[in-house]
């Protein structure tokens, strides 16, 4: 994915086929990259976003959001990512185009402590940090 031309839906960031992972520190993000590499994700399938980059992306997207964007979860999620970026969080975008790759990302995340993580499907945005009720 081109960081300068991200996928959007109705003018709002929606990178279909990707997981967006949020971490409090760059060290945690780097640990995630290493863990994802172990399970077969190439570094070329990942893009890092600094807090500043995500703040700029989110601010621009919020200004340019079309009226249809208010019907989905994308706009709320973009606001959440902007707030996390303002707190200094860093982001990792991982290409996960199918269920097998999404499951691999979720498995890796279970060993880490992301602040948030979502997979953007065509019709559904799935939270990858959810735990079964008995695991809480």
pLDDT the model gives residue 136 = 38
20 φ/ψ angles, rounded to the nearest 5 degrees: -110, 115
Task: Render pLDDT for 10-37 as a digit per residue (tens, 0 to 9).
Answer: 445 678 899 999 999 999 999 999 999 9
The three-point CA angle 68-71-75 to 5° equals 85
Task: Provide the residue ranges of all domains of the chain, joining segments of one domain with +.
Answer: 17-130
Summary count for the chain: helices (H), strands (E): 4, 7
pLDDT the model gives residue 131 = 54
pLDDT the model gives residue 13 = 66
pLDDT interval class at 8 (50, 70, 90): very low
pLDDT the model gives residue 57 = 86
> Do β-strands 90-95 and 46-49 pair in parallel, antiparallel, or remain unpaired?
antiparallel
């Amino acid at each position: 994915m081109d960081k300068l031309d991200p996928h959007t839906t109705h003018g709002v960031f929606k990178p279909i086929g990707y997981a967006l992972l949020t971490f409090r520190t760059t060290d945690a993000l780097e640990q995630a990259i290493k863990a994802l590499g172990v399970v077969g994700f190439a570094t070329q399938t990942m893009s890092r976003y600094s807090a500043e980059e995500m703040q700029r992306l989110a601010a621009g997207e919020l200004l340019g959001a079309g009226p249809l964007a208010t019907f989905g979860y994308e706009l709320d999620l973009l606001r959440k990512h902007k707030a996390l970026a303002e707190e200094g969080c860093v982001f990792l975008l991982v290409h996960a185009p199918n269920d097998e790759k999404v499951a691999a990302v979720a498995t890796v995340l279970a060993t880490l402590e992301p602040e948030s993580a979502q997979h953007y499907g065509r019709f559904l945005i799935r939270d990858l940090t959810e735990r079964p009720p008995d695991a809480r």
